[in-house]
Amino acid sequence: MSEEPPVHASSPVVTPQVVETRVRVKGTGWKWFWIALIVCFLGGCATLLLVVGELGQNLRSMLDGMETNSGNHTYYDASGDFMEVVLRWDKKEDTSNKILLIDVSGVIYDTGNRYASKMSISPGLIEKQLKKAGEDSKVRAVILRVDSPGGEAFACDLIAAQIQKFHKTCNKPVVAWINSMGASGGYYVSAPCQWVVAHEMSVVGSIGVISSSYNYRELLDKVGVKPMVYKSGRLKDMMSPTRKEEDITSDEKAMMQNLIDKMFARFKNVVKEGRAQESRKELEGARSLAENWEEYADGRILLGNEAYQVGMVDELGGEEEAIAAAQRLAKIDRSRLVQYQMPMDWLGFLRFFSETHSRKVEVSLNGLELNSTVQIEPGKVYFLPPVQ
């Protein structure tokens, strides 16, 4: 009997199958849709905040109008280009007389931007405030709160001329209240005022003009950079920082010094005429410049009590003394202290975010720390404290 070999079941043969996979490429359209949606949401929130803020200000104005108790209140009166804010108002002694407070805080220079009031002292902005004060018969006097180390010569001269014009055309006194510092250009804009008040420890004076620059030609030579200059006249590159020092002629130096001397003479003339103006002669207690006052016009810095002795300041004190002086000069007994502020409308909102600030730097000039909001531009002359 023959045995048949065992039969083993064959393993199932798996036939490989081709699985078709499709990679689904997600389009970018949805991404931009969500980005646009988020931007619209944020814009809507910003608009809502502005509307709520405006409603809040109006509501606050209504509530302040209904209050009868005394004390300091803030009252909003939005009209024209400015929003009037009442800083001090004792309602027990209600009066329609107003004294306008204008801030001159920081380095003085002309930005050409009406929305830069918190960053700089713009002559255009101060001119608009003085114009509004002149048109308002209830504004009886102006207080210029000065806290400035100086600034651009052109801007300082514009502000000084605006103060002189305002007093002559509107017959309203302007009081300069020098807070912590009224040096150089800060005193330039204070001198034309009818009365100057300063604290005994305020920094006052620094009458002088300065123009400085750097020559980095030797540095360029070291790194192999050679400036190529094409000019129409021999003096066209007179202030160029890339010229060799030996190429700067004595005539060019004399021309620059002559320019500085003329501006310095104008500075002293503004101080002399401002302290000797006719409207001050009838004021009781007004101090005249000392005979040797020009000896102190060499760029030196004085404290408030020293400036008082020289005749650059009429009274030692602070805010209370400045308000009392403004009332006395305006011949009124009571007043509200008001301030103009620029409302943030949509135009200002868009301009604020669309501006470029390409030349703003942090520098220390003659020991004066200037933050990034200050623009010190080449080719301009500045009234700033001298090197001590």
Tell me the C-alpha to C-alpha distance, in Å, between residue 320 and each of 112, 148, 192, 324, 338: 33, 20, 21, 6, 14
* 209: helix, strand or coil: coil
- Note if 226 is an active site residue: no
CB 325, CB 85: distance < 8 Å: no
Write out the E strands in 76-165.
76-79, 82-88, 98-105, 139-148, 151-152
Catalytic residue among 31, 118, 231, 236: 236
Distance (Å, whole) CA 177 – CA 204: 11
Contacts of 263 (CB under 8 A, 6+ apart): 153, 209, 381
Catalytic residue among 122, 148, 184, 190: 184
* Phi, psi (rounded to 5 degrees) for 112: 75, 10
CB 208, CB 299: distance < 8 Å: yes
- Note if 236 is an active site residue: yes
- Beta strands 315-316; 336-341: pairing state: unpaired
End-to-end CA distance of the chain: 130
Distance (Å, whole) CA 158 – CA 154: 6
CB 337, CB 86: distance < 8 Å: yes
Scanning the structure block, which residue is given the tokens 């408030």? 304
Q: Which residues are catalytic?
A: 184, 236
